[in-house]
């Protein structure tokens, strides 16, 4: 057998690989990536917009998909999320703080187009990090995504999760963000037709 040739740029120890994926994303003050209609305290917090995808039995993800849907601000995220061609992608945009954990103990999670009942108000817990064995306190300000309605089909429902210090504040933030997203969604879909 021939000798295996290893290229230096491909050699990476487990510690190097783990260190690389555990790096914090680049952050910006909220006013650089958010919109003025959101809660004012968010504008000075260091923020990042993360793109994610859900999987079901008929979907897959690949690096260029992440590159295509990566965004630098909310306007870009809204355009990509709400165009009709994105309906069958199980696309998530999560706006979160970097290096700071917001003082939120509650989440309001309901379908974007209608507020649900009290079951949508839940206490926050820890969330999974870049690797499955790493958990940290949830630093999410809000998250909007296309939720698959069935395991084998591409029909989706837009969902919104927003944080707050109390149940009431989480519901208030949800109402504020949902009205903004509904308006933007209507504009984008109106222009797409």
Span 56-76, pLDDT tens digits: 666 677 788 888 889 988 889
Is residue 17 assigned to a domain? no
Return d(Cα 124, Cα 104) in angstroms, integer. 8
User: Is residue 16 a part of any domain in this protein?
Assistant: no
Structural domain tally of the chain? 1
Tell me if 68 is assigned to some domain: yes
The predicted-structure confidence for 86-136, as pLDDT tens digits, reads as follows: 766 788 899 999 888 999 999 999 999 888 888 899 999 888 877 778 888
If one counts every other C-beta atom within 10 angstroms of the C-beta of residue 54, the result is 15
Indicate whether 148 belongs to any domain.
Answer: yes
Q: Is the pLDDT of residue 30 over 80?
A: no
Which structural domain range is residue 29 located in?
25-192
Let me know if residue 34 belongs to a domain.
yes
Burial of 96 by CB count in 10 Å (0-12 exposed, 13-18 middle, 19+ buried)?
buried
By CB atoms closer than 10 A (0-12, 13-18, 19+), residue 160 is buried
pLDDT at 167: 95
Percent of the chain's residues with pLDDT above 90 = 32
The reply to whether 20 falls in a domain is no
In a domain, 162, yes or no: yes
Q: How far is CA 66 from CA 52, 175, 179, in A?
A: 8, 29, 27
- pLDDT at residue 6 tops 60: no
Q: What is the pLDDT of residues 128-163, one digit of tens each?
A: 877 778 888 999 999 999 887 766 666 778 899 999
Q: Is the pLDDT of residue 193 over 80?
A: no
Q: Give the helix ranges, DSSP H, for 71-166.
A: 74-82
d(CA 4, CA 132): 32
Residue 18 located in a structural domain: no
Q: Is 111 helix (H, G, I), strand (E, B) or coil?
A: strand
């Amino acid at each position: 057998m021939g000798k295996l040739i290893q290229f230096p740029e491909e050699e990476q120890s487990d510690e190097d690989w783990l260190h690389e994926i555990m790096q914090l994303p680049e952050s910006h003050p909220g006013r650089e990536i958010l919109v003025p209609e959101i809660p004012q305290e968010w504008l000075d917090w260091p923020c990042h917009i993360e793109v994610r995808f859900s999987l079901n039995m008929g979907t897959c993800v690949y690096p260029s998909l992440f590159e295509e849907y990566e965004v630098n601000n909310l306007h870009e995220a809204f355009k990509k999320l709400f165009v009709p061609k994105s309906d069958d992608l199980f696309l998530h945009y999560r706006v979160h703080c970097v290096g700071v954990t917001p003082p939120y103990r509650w989440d309001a999670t309901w379908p974007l187009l209608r507020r649900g009942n009290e079951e949508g108000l839940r206490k926050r817990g820890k969330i999974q990090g870049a690797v499955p064995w790493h958990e940290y306190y949830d630093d999410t300000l809000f998250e909007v995504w296309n939720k698959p309605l069935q395991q084998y089909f591409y029909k989706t429902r837009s969902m919104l999760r927003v944080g707050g210090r109390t149940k009431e504040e989480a519901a208030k933030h949800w109402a504020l963000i949902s009205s903004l997203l509904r308006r933007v969604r209507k504009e984008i879909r109106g222009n797409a037709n």
